[in-house]
Amino acid sequence: MNGLETLIAITALAAVSGSGGDIKYSPSAECLALNMYYEARNQGTAGVLAVTNVVVNRVNDDRYPNSICEVVQQGPTRASWKDPKVSYPVKNRCQFSWYCDGKSDEPKNTEQFTYFLNLSQGILNNEIPFLDITDGATHYHADYVMPSWAKTKTKTVEIQDHIFYKWETR
């Protein structure tokens, strides 16, 4: 384990043990943790933090919504056929594919998800150092695909199996 991984592990463990197991996470921490889990759970620390950088960079970019949950859940919606007041994301059209893939968003590995909850809450509370290791990236994709939008963005870095890009300022 490197220094950052050790710090994150200690912070996560302290948060769990110091709370008696009854932690109240902010909605932003929950949205961020779900995104970490579904977008980067098979990555190392750098991969998880890079995916998280993209969410935070989008929140800070006026071309995107200004909250973590709105960024993570961004995409077109459709009204429910049962109740037109209820909207659902259009399948396979969201910014983050896991959110609208039609599968359950309930994490199967609760231990790993709890780790991401503690990590996200620590980041949001400024208890865990959080540097932008993507150089301002607002986009990324897996290295085995080449989306059409990639040629309109500036590549910043490759971390594990993701390639990161920034959307240059206007």
pLDDT tens across 123-137, in order?
Answer: 999 999 899 999 999
Q: Give 59-96 pLDDT, tens digit per residue.
A: 999 999 999 999 999 988 899 999 999 988 889 888 99
Identify whether 37 is part of a domain. yes
Domain that holds residue 102: 28-133
Q: Are 140 and 54 in contact (CB under 8 A)?
A: yes
Residue 72 in any domain: the answer is: yes
Please indicate, yes or no, if residue 143 is contained in any of the structural domains. Answer: no
Count structural domains, the chain: 1
Alpha-carbon distance of 89 to 119, in angstroms, equals: 27
Average pLDDT, the chain: 88
The verdict on residue 113 lying in a domain is: yes
In a domain, 158, yes or no: no
pLDDT higher than 70, residue 1: no
